[in-house]
Chain A
């Protein structure tokens, strides 16, 4: 299964895009489609060159001058996540698991985004931190920052490389393009526009890419629904093709591990995914949080995640629905997709569901836009990783550990060079992934090791004055250690899965959800216990960092419709309605 981008997402059938069957290209592009793709590359490079002159200070380069509107920051916040493998990966998941895949967009995102906006954003913003590790430095000290920063930069460049390789592989499978050509063109393009314009360039391009992703992917759900006979027709066809209506229920099949195609229980979805996994990713992963930090004021910074959540609610329309459409209409054309590694000659895999539907519905021109949407998605994710890497490397590793007193111009220069180095390492990782299939699974697992425990450390630091520097450090270390320990336990003894997921019927999907939950609880518990046994920081040092020690500006002077809380409530209402509608 293609691995979607969100760091908290379980490995599903693994990241094994390497197992994608080489079919020599299932899409034939016309010169018109190629023209659209070429225009796209010129457009993103043009943005980089246009913005070069506006990047003068480190704040300009790393935080886009902190002058983005809520709309720009919000769209960028979502687009950075929509990047790598999102469209194809989750369309494939929907084909394999049905509408359950939408949990990763709704309960696995919306509550966490709203929580970031209303609860955590004030502290990130008021503390004027440049990064999440930067917040940890202010709250807990250098050791916690170093642990977080090193793990983040390592994971980020590895993820960037994996995504780069995945994109090249997809281009090879879908279009028949040469692997080296795809890696070279995409990495050079991203390197140029991020190096020239820094985060500002990455963000503007992400907004552009967001539009292209939507417009390019839109023809599939619309025409798919027309062909299937609307939503009712779609449901009927899926029931006929699969023999069950279980693929169209979000909740009613989650009462037991055996009752649904994912092999998960509702407790895993609610607590493992919806709580610790989603909150860990959306509130502490600097890749996405960095976009919100660029907002021009606190209200914009709080509105940005809410705007992102509004769009996130709708993303299943272009990602999950195509997977369901594939289930409904492809069998009528004699196409039954199969899992990776099981495809024989002439068969297609789950991962190819979206390209197959694009070819089915989109003629020359529209097809080019659809392929451009895929490329845009990959590149926005890659640029997000690289720009976040450059910021954390420069602010949280280079400056505090290697060169504390250089000029601002020097740090901008370091940021530019680290962008290039980040891309080069990513290319190296991409080729590494090509030769060592399992590296992808390991990197995905490593990523999840660090994100969830970090949420325990950050949230306790924000809401509990008593949390001590020692508590933060040892809690984070214990969370990471326990997560790695559980992963190693299951990999050395697969029967351990039943113990971690608390059921002999649990499928691999459940492992990550419960591992995240336990590691968060362990990190949380250790932080509390160590904090109670050690000396906390004086309250005077906690101003701007912790509830009870920080004066948070209200938005009472704004009209109701301009307040983040109003729109957050509206988003939550729509979210709850969707859960009920597709229950």
Chain B
């Protein structure tokens, strides 16, 4: 089996790519969440800062995938 076939590009795994997107979303949404601490949106339960926590979860999840599937030149982390 050619491990590169399981990747999005010859070096990057599917999961790495997904991690990158989730991380990017996380940064944007977390930033919005920080802003919304002092400018609450007109939503129910806005006091729970769902945007902030949602962004944080995306950053952690995306970061985990980026770290786990960072291209290291082996065949184990290509997804």
Give the Cβ gap from B23 to chain A, nearest Cβ, in Å: 12
With both beta carbons as reference points, the residue of chain A lying nearest to B14 in the complex is identified as A204
Q: Which residues of A contact B41 (CB under 8 A)?
A: 363-364
Q: Which residues of A contact B25 (CB under 8 A)?
A: 36, 39, 369
Q: A68-B6, A211-B22 given as contacts; is B51 within 8 A of A360 (CB)?
A: no
- In B25-77, the 8 Å CB interface with A consists of 25, 28-29, 31-33, 36, 40-41, 43-46, 48, 50-51, 54-55, 57-58, 61
Q: Residues 201-224 of chain A: 1 if any B CB is under 8 Å from the residue's CB, otherwise 0?
A: 000100110010001001100110
Interface residue? A296 (CB, 8 A): yes
Partner of B1, one of A60, A67, A211: A67
Determine if B43 and A67 form an interchain contact, defined as CB atoms under 8 angstroms apart: no
Give the Cβ gap from A104 to chain B, nearest Cβ, in Å: 28
Q: Which residues of B contact A360 (CB under 8 A)?
A: 43-44
Q: A32-B28, A50-B9, A215-B58 given as contacts; is B43 within 8 A of A363 (CB)?
A: yes
Name 13 extra pairs, CB < 8 A, besides A361-B44, A362-B43, A366-B51: A47-B17, A54-B4, A60-B5, A65-B5, A67-B5, A69-B6, A204-B8, A215-B58, A218-B54, A226-B48, A227-B44, A227-B45, A359-B43
Contact size range, A: 35 or more
Determine if A50 and B8 form an interchain contact, defined as CB atoms under 8 angstroms apart: yes
How many B residues face the partner with a CB closer than 8 A? 36
Q: Which residues of B contact A65 (CB under 8 A)?
A: 5
Q: A36-B25, A65-B5, A207-B14 given as contacts; is B44 within 8 A of A363 (CB)?
A: no
Q: Is the interface of A mostly helix, strand, loop or mixed?
A: helix
7 nearest A-B residue pairs (beta carbon): A363-B41, A365-B32, A365-B29, A67-B5, A366-B51, A50-B9, A65-B5
With most chain A CB atoms within 10 A of its CB, the pick from B25, B36, B45 is B25
Q: Residues 16-51 of chain A: 1 if any B CB is under 8 Å from the residue's CB, otherwise 0?
A: 000000000000000010011001100100010011
Q: Residues 88-130 of chain A: 1 if any B CB is under 8 Å from the residue's CB, otherwise 0?
A: 0000000000000000000000000000000000000000000
Determine if B44 and A223 form an interchain contact, defined as CB atoms under 8 angstroms apart: yes
Bound form: Cα–Cα A67–B18 in Å: 19
Interface residue? A153 (CB, 8 A): no
Bound form: Cα–Cα A51–B28 in Å: 27
Q: Which residues of B contact A368 (CB under 8 A)?
A: 29
Bound form: Cα–Cα A367–B6 in Å: 32
Q: Which residues of B contact A227 (CB under 8 A)?
A: 44-45
Q: Which residues of A contact B17 (CB under 8 A)?
A: 47, 50, 204, 208
Q: Which residues of B contact A207 (CB under 8 A)?
A: 14, 18
A residues adjacent to B (C-beta < 8 A): 32, 35-36, 39-40, 43, 47, 50-51, 54, 60, 65, 67-69, 71-72, 204, 207-208, 211, 215, 218-219, 222-223, 226-227, 296, 359-366, 368-369
With both beta carbons as reference points, the residue of chain B lying nearest to A201 in the complex is identified as B8
Q: Which residues of A contact B50 (CB under 8 A)?
A: 219, 222-223, 361-363, 366
With both beta carbons as reference points, the residue of chain A lying nearest to B29 in the complex is identified as A365
Determine if B45 and A223 form an interchain contact, defined as CB atoms under 8 angstroms apart: yes
Bound form: Cα–Cα A35–B24 in Å: 11
Partner of B5, one of A35, A50, A54, A366: A54
Q: Which residues of B contact A296 (CB under 8 A)?
A: 1
Partner of A365, one of B14, B28, B45: B28
- Total A-B Cβ pairs within 8 A: 103
Q: Is the interface of B mostly helix, strand, loop or mixed?
A: helix
Q: Which residues of B contact A60 (CB under 8 A)?
A: 5
Q: Which residues of A contact B55 (CB under 8 A)?
A: 365
Determine if A364 and B32 form an interchain contact, defined as CB atoms under 8 angstroms apart: yes
Q: Which residues of B contact A43 (CB under 8 A)?
A: 21
Q: List 13 A-B contacts (CB under 8 A).
A: A50-B12, A67-B1, A67-B6, A204-B17, A215-B22, A215-B54, A218-B54, A360-B44, A363-B41, A364-B32, A364-B36, A365-B33, A369-B29
Determine if A219 and B54 form an interchain contact, defined as CB atoms under 8 angstroms apart: yes
Determine if A361 and B43 form an interchain contact, defined as CB atoms under 8 angstroms apart: yes
With both beta carbons as reference points, the residue of chain A lying nearest to B65 in the complex is identified as A211
Give the Cβ gap from A97 to chain B, nearest Cβ, in Å: 25
Determine if B79 and A69 form an interchain contact, defined as CB atoms under 8 angstroms apart: yes
Bound form: Cα–Cα A60–B6 in Å: 11
Q: Which residues of A contact B32 (CB under 8 A)?
A: 32, 363-366
Q: Which residues of B contact A223 (CB under 8 A)?
A: 44-45, 48, 50
With most chain B CB atoms within 10 A of its CB, the pick from A43, A67, A215, A359 is A215
With both beta carbons as reference points, the residue of chain B lying nearest to A65 in the complex is identified as B5
Determine if A366 and B29 form an interchain contact, defined as CB atoms under 8 angstroms apart: yes
With both beta carbons as reference points, the residue of chain A lying nearest to B57 in the complex is identified as A215
Determine if B45 and A72 form an interchain contact, defined as CB atoms under 8 angstroms apart: no
Partner of B36, one of A35, A363, A369: A363
With both beta carbons as reference points, the residue of chain B lying nearest to A360 in the complex is identified as B44
Partner of A39, one of B5, B24, B48, B57: B24
With both beta carbons as reference points, the residue of chain B lying nearest to A372 in the complex is identified as B25
Bound form: Cα–Cα A54–B45 in Å: 47
With both beta carbons as reference points, the residue of chain A lying nearest to B12 in the complex is identified as A50
Q: Which residues of A contact B12 (CB under 8 A)?
A: 50
Determine if A72 and B79 form an interchain contact, defined as CB atoms under 8 angstroms apart: yes
Q: Which residues of B contact A72 (CB under 8 A)?
A: 6, 14, 79
Give the Cβ gap from B65 to chain A, nearest Cβ, in Å: 9
With most chain A CB atoms within 10 A of its CB, the pick from B17, B40, B43 is B43
Give the Cβ gap from B19 to chain A, nearest Cβ, in Å: 10
